[in-house]
A and B are shown apart, each in its own frame.
Chain A
C-alpha cells in the first residue's frame, strides 16, 4: 500500500523506454471506437540495412475506417500512416501515471481536501522515459484530401447564425402594467393577508432560532421569516438586538452581546 503521494519508481529504475507519438485527432477518434481488446491496427518497422533509419508505419484496421455520421461512406479515414521519427532533444521526458482507486477519476484529487467521495489516494507511478518521439502522418491519398475538405467545411461554418423570422414576435409588447405580474401580486397579497401580530414570545422564539443560524440579518429578511408587521418587529428587535449601522455588516440586525453564543466568536457570552 503506497503512501499518499509516494511515487512508484519501478519504471524509472528499469529505464523503461517508451515512445511519444503525436496522432491526428481524427485517428484518435477512430481509435476510441475500437472494440474488443482494443486492437486498432498494425505497426510496421522496417530497418534498411545497418545504417539506414528505420521506417515505421502504421496501418489502421479496416473496420475502423468508417467515419461516424458519414453514412454514405464517401469519405473514409485513410489507412496508411507513416511515422516521422524525431529525437527527444535536450528535454528529458518521463511518463507518470495517476491511478485513482475510487470511482471518480476526475475529482480524485478532492481526497486531499478531505471530501473524498470514496476515492482513495492517488497512486502515482513513474512508467518510464521517452526514448523516441514520432509523429503519425496520414499518407497523402485522395481519401485523406476528401476528409480534410470535409473538416474544413465544418470548421468554417460560423457558430452563430442570423436567421430571419417569417413572423414578427408579438408576445413581448409592453403593457402598462404587467398583467401577469399584477395578477400574481394580487394573488400573493390576498393569500398572505396582512401580517398579524402574534405573541411577542413567539416572535422572540422565532428570532432566536433565526439568529442561531446566522448572526446578521437584514430587516427585510427578518420580516420574511417572522411574517410580522415591520413596526412590531422592530420593537421586539430593539429589545434583544442591536442595529449595525457601520462596519462590515451594514444595516443589519444582530443579537445583543449578552444573548449571543456563537462559536468562533471572540466574545462568547451566555445567552
Chain B
C-alpha cells in the first residue's frame, strides 16, 4: 500500500486479488426498496431452494418397474416426443427459486427468483476489503431478486369478482370476516397455515369465536336483506356441514320463509275464512270449518311431513287421481284421510300441495312425475286426488300450507289477494291458516300463474252435473273445479252461482269421511 502525498488529495493504492480456487459461490440477494428490509434485524434466517417445479418436469416418473409400468415406456415416450418435436427444458436446480424464511416461523418469508441475463455480457465482482488492506474480488454467480410473500389469504379471481359486486352493499366487513373464518374452520381448515396465520393476525378468533359467530349467524338469519350472498354462503356452509344437504336446505328455507310469510299472510287469511264461511250455508261450512280446525291442530313441522312424504309412497292411487285431476283441471284436493292412517293422513295435504306445485310448474297435462323435485316440499310425490272429499287433514305442516297458499296465490293474479286465495286455499288445503311456506313451493306460484287448463270450464249446470255424476264431490271440490281464473268470475260469484246450481240440481248427499259429498246418479 503506497500513499502518495499531495497537497490536498490523498491517494491510496490497494492490491486487487482474485482468489483462484474457492468453493464459495457468491450471489446477490436483491430486495426492493419499498420493502424496507434491514438485514441487521434478522436474528435467524433459513433458506432453501424451491424444488416444487421438479415434478412438473417429470424427472421422477411414477413407479419404475413393477406395478403400472409398461415395457419400454420410456423409449416410446422419448421417440414420440422427438417425432413431434417437443423439446422439454431440463430441470436445473441452479435456476430454481430460493425460499428465505427470516426469524423463524412467525417471521417474514421471501421468494428469490433468479434474474437472467446478468452474466451474459459483463461480469459482476464483489470487492471486499481484507484485513491486510488488499481487495479481493469474487465473481458473482447469480442475481436473485427477493420479494416478500404474502401470508394472508388472497382471493381467487372468482372470489374477487364476487366481492367486487358486493362492495357497495356490504357495510359490516367485520362480520363478513368472521363468517369467512368460521366457514373455513368448519371446512376443517383447508390450508392450515393460512387459518393459523389469520388466527394470529386477527385477535378475535380466540375469544369464544364460536359463540360470537353463532350470534352473528342468528343475526344474519334474521336480516335477510343484508348481503344475500352471505346468507347464501351461510346456508351453504350449513348445508355442507350437515350431511343431509337437502334437509338442511329445506330447513333453512322453510324457516326463512316461515318467518317471512307468516307475518304477511297469516292475519289476512284468518279474516278471509270467516267471510267465506258466513256466505255459505252452515251445512256446507261445517266440514270446512272442521277442516281448518283440524288442520290447525295438527301442526307439524315440515320435517315430519317430508319424512312422511318420503316414507309413504302412495303411487298408484295418486297417479290415477292425479291423472284425472289433470285432465280436468289443476291443483286438486288430496284425499280425505284421517290421521289414523298415518301414512295417508300425512300425505294428504302434502299431496295437494305437490300437485299444485307440479301442475303449476309443468304447464302441461303430463302426469306428474312422482319424484320430480319440482320444488314444493311435497311435490316430490304427487298426491293429487281429484275431487274426492276434502281433507280431514292430517298433518298439515306450516310449510305445506304455506306452499299451498302460495300456489293458490300464484294462480289468482288479478284478485284481491285475500278472498280468492282463501277460497281456493280452503279447497285444496282445508284448514290452512298460516300458509306455511315451503321454500320449494315458493317458486311455484309465479310459474303457476300461467298454467291454463286444457278444458275451459264454464260454471254451468251441465258441468256440475257431469262432475257429480262421475264422482261424489264436496262443495270444495266443486269450487276447485271452477276456478275463478278460468270462469272469469270472482270467488264470491262462483260461490253464489254454484250454490244456485246445486239447489237446482238437488243432488243426493252422502257423508264420506265426515264430509258432505254430493253426487248424482243417472
Q: How far is the CA of A221 from the CA of B70 in the complex (A)?
A: 10
- Tell yes or no: A214 within 8 A of B by CB: yes
Specify which chain A residues have a CB less than 8 angstroms from the CB of B46 in the assembled complex.
5-7
- How far, in whole Å, are A127 and B130 apart by their CA atoms in the complex? 13
The 8 Å CB contact of A221, one of B27, B49, B71, B128, is B71
Residues of B within 8 A of A109 (CB): 49, 51, 93-94, 96
Task: State whether A48 touches B9 (Cβ < 8 A).
Answer: yes
Determine whether the beta carbon of A217 is less than 8 Å from that of B128.
no
Q: Are A113 and B10 within 8 A (Cβ)?
A: no
Q: How far is the CB of B260 from chain A (nearest CB, A)?
A: 52
Q: Is the CB of A44 within 8 A of B24?
A: no
B37 lies within 8 A of chain A by Cβ: yes
The distance in angstroms between the C-alpha atoms of A31 and B125, with both chains bound, is: 11
Q: Is B42 an interface residue (CB 8 A)?
A: yes
- Which residues of B does A touch, CB under 8 Å? 8-20, 23-35, 37, 39-40, 42-49, 51, 54, 63, 65-73, 93-94, 96, 100, 121-128, 135, 137, 139-141
CB distance from B52 to the nearest CB of A (A): 12
With beta carbons under 8 angstroms apart, the residue of B23, B28, B32, B125 that contacts A99 is: B23
Q: Are B42 and A9 in contact (CB under 8 A)?
A: yes
B40 neighbours in A (Cβ, 8 Å) = 12-13, 15
Q: In this complex, what residue of A is CB-closest to B65?
A: A213
Answer yes or no: A204 CB below 8 A from chain B CBs. no
B72 touches A25 (CB 8 A): no
Most buried by A among B17, B32, B51, B121: B17
A93 contacts B28, C-beta separation under 8 Å:
yes
Is A105's CB within 8 Å of the partner chain B? yes
List A residues at the B interface (Cβ < 8 Å).
4-7, 9, 12-13, 15-16, 18-25, 28, 31-32, 34, 37-49, 52, 58, 89-101, 105-107, 109-110, 112-113, 124, 126-130, 134, 210, 212-218, 221, 249, 252, 260, 262-265
Q: With A22-B122, A92-B30, A96-B27 in contact, do A12 and B42 touch (Cβ < 8 Å)? A: yes
- In Å, the complex CA distance between A41 and B42 comes to 37
Residues of chain B within 8 A (CB-CB) of A34 are 18, 20
Question: CB < 8 Å: which of A18, A48, A110 contacts B126?
Answer: A18
Which residue among A25, A58, A105, A215 has the maximum number of chain B CB atoms within 10 Å of its CB? A215
Q: Are A45 and B12 in contact (CB under 8 A)?
A: yes
CB of A5 within 8 A of CB of B47, answer yes
- Bound-state CA distance A52–B23 (Å) is 39
Given contacts A49-B8, A252-B70, 8 further A-B contacts (CB under 8 A): A9-B43, A19-B127, A24-B123, A38-B20, A92-B30, A134-B127, A213-B65, A262-B66
CB distance from B467 to the nearest CB of A (A): 62
Minimum C-beta distance from B63 to chain A (A):
6
